Amino acid sequence: MCGRFSLTADPDQLRKIFPWLTVPDELQPRYNVAPSQPVAAVPNDGKNQLDFFVWGLIPFWAKDPKIGSRMINARAETVDQKPSFKAPFRRRRCLIPANGFYEWQRQPGSKTKTPMYVTLDSGKPFFLAGLWETWQSSDGSEIPSCTIITCEPNELIREIHNRMPVILPEESYQLWLDPGEPDSNQIKALLRPYPAENMSAYPVSKLVNNPANDTAACIQPL
């Protein structure tokens, strides 16, 4: 499961690192992004533009948007089979920018869990593989929403948790953002663990346990 992440890069940094991307000026640094909150994402609509989506995918056929709280993650192994995700997987994929994500590590012989912050060794922001959807209510209003795809952990994350978000390598962005319907096997092959040798993890404060705490203190090493 991926239940928290950060996006601390400002718009200018993102534009410099990803010159093909249009980034809104109102994007603010986030240190503790939680489900049901707005998240920045790049949908595969051909515009290469960051937009905002509610984290927790609401299927277009849902009667109640609250179902999104149970749809914050999609498993890579079954994303092309589950009713909530198979249509978005074919047609509505997105990239979700992040600087790092959190997982909770259980301490041996204890019920206590330590929050761990995971980043790339390069320190650069990266993109998580996501899906997006637009839900329309009876009054005509719309809610754009998204989910993060998870996969089996690599060697680093395996010591912390049994799942990790899919981090897409740069060479896969174009295929993932294809507005058409690329070969599903080719797309699914992208959903694999990121190389552990290019990642780092360190313990952080339990401040991150509370979504109300959205400050730089959340990512500071203990």
Q: Which of 2, 146, 151, 218 is catalytic?
A: 2
DSSP assignment of 43-73:
ESSSS-B-EEEEES---TT-S-GGGGGG-SE
Pairwise CA distance, residues 45 & 94, whole Å: 9
The answer to whether residue 181 is catalytic is no
Annotation marks residue 103 as catalytic: yes
Measured distance CA(141)–CA(51) in Å, rounded: 17
C-alpha distance across the termini of the chain, in Å: 23
H/E segment holding residue 32: strand 30-33
3-state SS string for 80-131: CCCCCCHHHHHHCEEEEEECEEEEEEECCCCCCEEEEEEEECCCCCEEEEEE
Pick the catalytic residue from 94, 103, 133, 146.
103
Q: Which active-site residues does the annotation give?
A: 2, 103
